[in-house]
Amino acid sequence: MFRKSFVAVIAATTLALTACGGGSDTGTSGGSGGGDDTITMGFAQVGAESGWRTANTKSIQEAAEAAGVDLKFSDAQQKQENQIKAIRSYIQQQVDVIAFSPVVESGWDTVLKEAKDANIPVILTDRAVDSADTSLYKTFLGSDFIEEGKKAGEWLVEDSASTEGPVNIVELQGTTGAAPAIDRKEGFEAAIAADPDLTIVESQTGDFTRSGGKQVMEAFLKNTPDIDVVYAHNDDMGLGAIEAIEAAGKVPGKDIKIITVDAVKDGMTALADGKINFIVECNPLLGEQLMDLAAKVVAGEEVPARVVTEETTFTPEQAKEVLASREY
Ligand code: GZL
């Protein structure tokens, strides 16, 4: 509860630059220091589970190269214990700054305290943690997932306005315990509460992967006779659902409408083809902002406690217009 109200307050004051509390107020970090002014960053990535993650990794690696940041990078294969191990190794190596995308919200206080005690600043990117102690990290750069869920739900309320009778929704949730899964669900449910005909009849995690989305959708199609809409927390699970829907002899985008989040190339292609009906963008290109924040943090400068990324939504017509120029 605290995290959500905290994020809500911060989200509301995002644009007002606020001093970031706590942490190393000496302006120095536990890093290589010395005469060499090259910043060494340890980045603990979630994994390579989706097209979004691939684009996010590419953005971070390219931005580090461009900024002259010495990047130590690890892929945790979506396992929290691997991310914790990586963070501990960055502390051992005395990097100047640690950045990571927490695979799940909880269970980070101990290792983040170790980084703080080693005087190494931490930047959260993409996903949040639910720690009550906000001095454990300098800033959180990433999307507002509740807003993303709301945009998805608001589109469905409008699209269903002329539909008589119940609209049965099945939900493909992201990784259990992950901030985007928790918040996209919350935002969507808040938005569809406006229309009592809209009901989530089944909801299960597909772990943000295409195979997970396909497997869960196959089960939904077996258990639930009349599904009208799929709400998938990311494109990859939506693309897996399309495979299952077509294998069941139904037409995705027509017999069963599909709403997803991300707007990666494969998702936008399915949207342009009419197999997906609406996509809420989640911007993975965080690299440049991350390197800029890291330089400020290592120099002991104030940074905003929360930096929300800009993103939009797409209909099939809009996807057709922008598909060729999409970076990812
Ligand atoms: C959202 C990010 C999510 C994407 C998924 O910022 O954490 O993780 O929506 C990815 O595609 O797996």
Q: Which residue has a Cα nearest atom 9 of ligand 1?
A: 234
Cα separations (Å) of 55 from 48, 89, 246?
10, 25, 27
Q: Are residues 129 and 176 in the same domain?
A: no
Question: Whole-angstrom Cα distance, residue 171 to residue 78?
Answer: 21
Contact 251, 102 (CB under 8 A): no
Q: What is the crossing angle of helices 235-247 and 51-67, to 10°?
A: 150
3-state DSSP helix/strand/coil % of the chain, to nearest 5: 40, 20, 40
Pocket test for ligand 1, best of 176, 188, 282 (most atoms within 8 A of CB): 282
Q: Are residues 41 and 121 in the same domain?
A: yes
Q: Are residues 181 and 210 in the same domain?
A: yes
Q: Are residues 107 and 162 in the same domain?
A: no
List per-residue pLDDT tens for the chain, 328 residues long: 334 444 444 444 444 333 333 333 333 445 544 447 899 999 999 999 999 999 999 999 999 999 999 999 999 999 999 999 999 999 999 999 999 999 999 999 999 999 999 999 999 999 999 999 999 999 999 999 999 999 999 999 999 999 999 999 999 999 999 999 999 999 999 999 989 999 999 999 999 999 999 999 999 999 998 999 999 999 999 999 999 999 999 999 999 999 999 999 999 999 999 999 999 999 999 999 999 999 999 999 999 999 999 999 999 999 999 999 998 9
Contact 282, 50 (CB under 8 A): no
Amino acid at residue number 66 = A
Q: Which residue has a Cα nearest atom 6 of ligand 1?
A: 126
Q: Are residues 119 and 229 in the same domain?
A: no
> Is the residue at 158 inside a domain?
yes
Question: Whole-angstrom Cα distance, residue 190 to residue 144?
Answer: 15
CATH no. for residue 134? 3.40.50.2300
> Is the residue at 131 inside a domain?
yes
Question: Whole-angstrom Cα distance, residue 221 to residue 170?
Answer: 10
Q: Are residues 199 and 109 in the same domain?
A: no
pLDDT at 36: 75
Closest ligand 1 atom to the C-alpha of 142? 6
pLDDT at 277: 98
**What pairs with residue 171 in β-bridges?**
203, 231
Q: Are residues 248 and 295 in the same domain?
A: no
pTM metric for this prediction: 0.89
CA 94 to the chain's CA centroid: 28
> Is the residue at 318 inside a domain?
no
> Is the residue at 320 inside a domain?
no
Domain range enclosing 24: 2-143+284-310
> Is the residue at 319 inside a domain?
no
Question: Whole-angstrom Cα distance, residue 120 to residue 16?
Answer: 25
Kindly state if the Cβ of 52 falls inside 6 Å of ligand 1.
yes
Kindly state if the Cβ of 143 falls inside 6 Å of ligand 1.
yes
Kindly state if the Cβ of 282 falls inside 6 Å of ligand 1.
yes
Q: Are residues 154 and 272 in the same domain?
A: yes
Q: Are residues 14 and 118 in the same domain?
A: yes
Q: Are residues 186 and 208 in the same domain?
A: yes
> Is the residue at 251 inside a domain?
yes
> Is the residue at 315 inside a domain?
no
Cα separations (Å) of 5 from 112, 177, 246?
21, 17, 41
> Is the residue at 322 inside a domain?
no
Q: Are residues 116 and 7 in the same domain?
A: yes
Q: Are residues 106 and 233 in the same domain?
A: no
Backbone torsion region of residue 22, taken as left when φ is above 0, otherwise alpha when ψ lies between -120 and 50, otherwise beta: left
Kindly state if the Cβ of 140 falls inside 6 Å of ligand 1.
no
Q: How many domains does the chain have?
A: 2
| Residue ending a domain, choose from 241, 263, 282 | 282
